Amino acid sequence: MTDTARPRPLGVVGRAVDMLTSHVRVSLAAIVAGQVTLTVALFLTVEHNGWLTYQGGDQIWLLTSGWLLGQGTIPYALVGWGWPLVVAPLTWVAGASSIQMLPLTHALQVLVLGPIATLCVYDIATRIAGRAAGLWASTAFVVTPVVVTPLFVDRYRELWTDQVLVQFYGLTQLADFPSTVLVLAAAALTLRSLDEGAYREAALAGALAGFAAGVKPANYLFLAGPVLAYLVARRWRQGALFAAMLAPATLTLIVWKDRGLGTIPAFGAGAVHVAASHTASLPLGEGFFDRFPLHLDDWNRNMSNLREFFWSARLAQWAPLAGALAVARRSLPASALLLGWLHGYVVVKGSSNVAGIENGSFWRLVMPALPAYLLLVVAIPLLVPTVARRLGSRIAPPPPRRPSRRGVVAVVAALAIVPLGAMLASSPQSGPGQAIDVDDILVPVDEGVVQLRVERVGDSQRLTWADATTRTTTFYRVYRTEGSGPDVDCATAGGDRCDLRMTLLATTRARTYLDASPEAGVTYRVGVAANWLDDPERGDVFVISPPVPAAP
């Protein structure tokens, strides 16, 4: 075969790219199918107990808040309102138990939110460098978290897979994955809104960014990206519309905090101390630096740990800056968006004293910014000389499709008006009848899940109970009051926060317990607990029985 007859490698690649981009819907469907398959394979591979993977504990507070909100009750509002509002309808089907809700939340995140995130990555990359770049970036988004696993040292890989990857792929009930999807969607629409006259996109981007802040108020950090993008692009009107659409979500957060806490942290003097997610209060007021700290020592500690556990810390740190140069050659506002978005989280949350690479918490706290990191890294090939010229029209973004006016109105209403109406229509929690704090976690009180019965056996009290949990293997914690003392201690702020004030008698897998020497007038409760390792020494109570007095 002569030289001229041999197929050129770049020509073969070009034809393959043309084929994929000419059938982009089929290509995207294949990527999404691969994403779902990979997620299922991950679930089957990591340590899990039934439907339960590693969670962290905060998900119980979030899901309990959703259950209460579904009943028209605003809980003690230490967490954001967004994720509880989303899961509230799921509680009408699954009930109060976060464990029983696992199939529904997994389906929502793996089958709905995960594909949306992938499509948003595709859209952002397409706006920067065409459909081929969109397919490349979305594929990388799906596979990179798994592919980089061998780049960590052996002793870190189990933590990475069992505790970090399950969050990246939506296999927990925490608010971090929904936050990431919402931020991604807001970023994609922000990039679209930089076009001339793209006001509808700006309105949608602002509404989504506001809802993301409702899910986790730390997502206000994302705003660094849009602010820089609008300034660089000089899109003042779109930027003003984006900012205006943040107002309803911020007002909803104020109502949520005021009714749930009795104060607005933005204007209070440290009335709220620590939230279950460490990011729950509005990032204003005296507690600003507690929520968004800049601790150089903690940042250096995390970077040192990155060098200890990862193959090349320098590469990980400098690669996005190289990618930013590549993106800037295509679109300076897009580069500003990605850099502001990334550093808003990585610098601020990554320097928090609760962020640690050694225990995996760093990745959860900066998770909404990781798509920006990936988009910058996968753009590096655009720096190779002559690549852009050889690709030619393949890296030209397709003409955008404008959303319909009716669609924009419907989405904005769902994201901005419905949440505020739900908060205004709900009442603060009153008393311990619906939920109480067990070990600083809000837990539903639900006789439908755990039914406790107490009977006298001589001088003893025999406790027996039924457990309706079917999605995982559980164990039980038996509690008793001190004599005739109270079982809870309630403090009224906006709503009542009631802490369990009972002695832990036993942790058992049996559904019966004999209290051989009770004092007169005691009261009992039984809490149902579980964890991903099915270890009775670990895990949190996720539902507790109503109080039952000792039998006479």
- DSSP category for residue 414: I
Once rounded to an integer, what is the mean pLDDT over residues 144-171? Answer: 95
| Range in 117-131, 313-327, 395-409 with the lowest mean pLDDT | 395-409
Segments forming the whole domain that contains residue 273: 176-282+398-428
Q: Percent of the chain scored above 90 by pLDDT?
A: 70
Q: Say if residue 414 is in the same domain as residue 275.
A: yes
Q: Do 494 and 537 lie in a common domain?
A: yes
The more confidently predicted of residues 234 and 10 is: 234
Residue 510: pLDDT over 60: yes
In a domain, residue 224? The reply is yes
Instruction: Confirm whether 275 is domain-assigned.
Output: yes
Q: How many domains does the chain have?
A: 2
The rounded Cα 341 to chain-centroid distance in angstroms is 16
Asked if 439 and 421 sit in the same domain, the reply is no
Over range 453-457, report the average pLDDT: 94
Q: Are 520 and 501 in contact (CB under 8 A)?
A: no
Which stretch of 196-205, 206-215, 393-402 has the lowest confidence by average pLDDT?
393-402
Q: What is the CATH number of the domain that holds 460?
A: 2.60.40.10
Percent of the chain with pLDDT strictly greater than 70 = 90
341 φ, ψ (degrees, to nearest 5): -60, -50
Are 448 and 523 in the same domain? yes
- Assigned domain for 511 exists: yes
Note the pLDDT of residue 401. 84
Answer yes or no: pTM beyond 0.85: yes
- Residue 7 scores a pLDDT above 50: no
Residue 76 has pLDDT above 70, yes or no: yes
Would you state the pLDDT for residue 495?
76
Token pair of 301, please?
């500690």
Q: Is the pLDDT of residue 170 over 50?
A: yes
Q: How far is CA 66 from CA 24, 383, 498, 526, in A?
A: 38, 47, 18, 22
Dig out the tokens for 486 from the structure.
């109270």
Q: Give, for 438, the enclosing helix (H) or strand (E).
A: strand 435-438
- Those residues whose C-beta lies under 8 Å from the C-beta of residue 34, and which sit 6 or more positions away, are 142, 143
- The pLDDT of residue 49 is above 70: yes
Other Cβ atoms within 10 Å of 464 Cβ, number: 15
Averaged over 371-376, what is the pLDDT?
Answer: 96
Amino acid at the residue 22: S
> How many Å apart are CA 297 and CA 288, to the nearest integer?
19
How many whole angstroms from its chain centre is CA 7? 48
In this structure, the chain runs to a length of 552
Q: Do 541 and 404 share a structural domain?
A: no
Average pLDDT (200-226) is 95
Looking at residue 282, what is its pLDDT?
A: 36
Handedness of CA 343, 132, 191, 37 (dihedral sign): negative
Average pLDDT over the chain reads: 88
- The DSSP-derived string for 480-506 is E-STT--SEEEEESSSEEEEE--EEEE
Q: Which amino acid, one-letter code, is at 297?
A: D
Residue 283: both structure tokens together: 């990032």
Residues 502 and 526 in one domain: yes
Residue 478 domain-assigned (yes or no): yes
Residue 356 has pLDDT above 60, yes or no: yes
Name the least confident of 13-17, 18-22, 26-30, 499-503: 13-17
Query: Could you tell me if residue 461 is inside a domain?
Result: yes
Verify that 439 and 424 share a domain, yes or no: no
Q: Answer yes or no: do 415 and 510 share one domain.
A: no
Q: Kindly state whether residues 221 and 191 are assigned to the same domain.
A: yes
Residue ending a domain, among 384, 411, 428, is 428
Q: Are 525 and 487 in contact (CB under 8 A)?
A: yes
Q: CA nearest 420: which of 210, 278, 241?
A: 210
Dig out the tokens for 50 from the structure: 């039934």
pLDDT score of 391 more than 90: no
> What sign for the dihedral angle of Cα 305, 306, 312, 315?
negative
529 located within any domain: yes
The one-character DSSP state at 547 is P
Place of tokens 């509230």: 88
Question: Are 407 and 277 in a shared domain?
Answer: yes
Query: Is the pLDDT at 275 greater than 90, yes or no?
Result: no
In a domain, 147, yes or no: no
What gap in Å lies between CA 215 and CA 71, rounded to an integer? Answer: 19
Which of 410, 428, 446 delimits the end of a domain?
Answer: 428
- Report the SS3 class of residue 146: helix
Domain identity same for 417 and 512: no
Is position 293 within any domain?
no
Instruction: State whether 195 and 278 are in the same domain.
Output: yes
Structural domain ending residue among the three candidates 381, 411, 428: 428
